[in-house]
Amino acid sequence: MKTIFVSLLTVISISCFAQKPVNVELKKQLDTILQTDQGIREFLDSEVKEERKDAIAQLLNYPRTVLDKSAGRIMQKIDSINIEKVERIITKYGYPGKTLVGEPENTAVFYAIQHSNKIPKYYQLIEKAGKAKELPYKYTAMMLDRKLTGEGKEQVYGTQVYMEMINNPKTGKKEPFEYVMPIKDAKNVNKRRKEAGFDSTVEENALRLGVVYKEYTKEQIREITKQ
């Protein structure tokens, strides 16, 4: 009986040591970062109802009239403030993942980096967090796509869309051309998306973003956009 009791105490001690408590204060900081990052972008969505926009304005502590006029500029300001906060957090904690702060706050640092020019600096940190399951791997996939397209390369998971103005040869006027940026091995993209944890196909995701998916090569895009 004594041996069993000692063994039980040992198991309990090991279990308590392994299960680190959530950092409540850090969780609150990350919640604020996440709410502001996502809130301003939701405000810019033309399909969001007026009542929700009023609530977002209150959350962001901006008068509704100011947001209506300057939401784009305010988004840039929020992104700048958030990445500064996040870099200080990373210096102190590394990537604050699910174990340290829980969900969905474990996505806050990802979003702040994704919406900054710091992706090349921090991609490996995001990749490590994704592989360790401290962050759902689909977020690593999203950042990889943005990193690759930013380098002028083909994306892997088809998460990045783009819009540029091109000349319509029939009318002679400029028109928006929206497309999913070229994908490496596009025929297998939905298989890769599923493996990464996405619950939508590349076609479904494109429609969610307001784009009809069509497979393009980099050469085809160059030919279309030079008009």
The reported pLDDT for the residue numbered 19 is: 61
**What is the dihedral angle through the alpha carbons of 188, 200, 162, 166, rounded to the nearest 10 degrees?**
80
How many degrees, rounded to 5, is the angle at CA 148 between CA 147 and CA 154? 155
Taking the C-alpha atoms of residue 206 and residue 200, their distance in angstroms, rounded to an integer, is: 10
The reported pLDDT for the residue numbered 227 is: 59
The reported pLDDT for the residue numbered 7 is: 47
Give the largest Cα separation in the chain, rounded: 90
- Do 162 and 178 meet the contact criterion of CB atoms below 8 Å apart? yes
> Where do runs of H (alpha helix) occur along 102-174?
108-114, 119-131, 137-150
The reported pLDDT for the residue numbered 120 is: 98
The reported pLDDT for the residue numbered 168 is: 86
* The residue type at 126: I
183, β-bridge pairs? 155
Q: Write down the residue that tokens 């109802």 correspond to.
A: 49
Taking the C-alpha atoms of residue 66 and residue 49, their distance in angstroms, rounded to an integer, is: 17
DSSP state of 170: T
The reported pLDDT for the residue numbered 192 is: 99
The reported pLDDT for the residue numbered 172 is: 86
* The residue type at 59: L
Structure tokens at 133: 């399951």
The reported pLDDT for the residue numbered 9 is: 44
Name residues of the chain where pLDDT drops below 50.
Answer: 1-18
Taking the C-alpha atoms of residue 155 and residue 198, their distance in angstroms, rounded to an integer, is: 15
The reported pLDDT for the residue numbered 115 is: 99
Q: What sign does the CA torsion over 139, 143, 144, 145 have?
A: positive
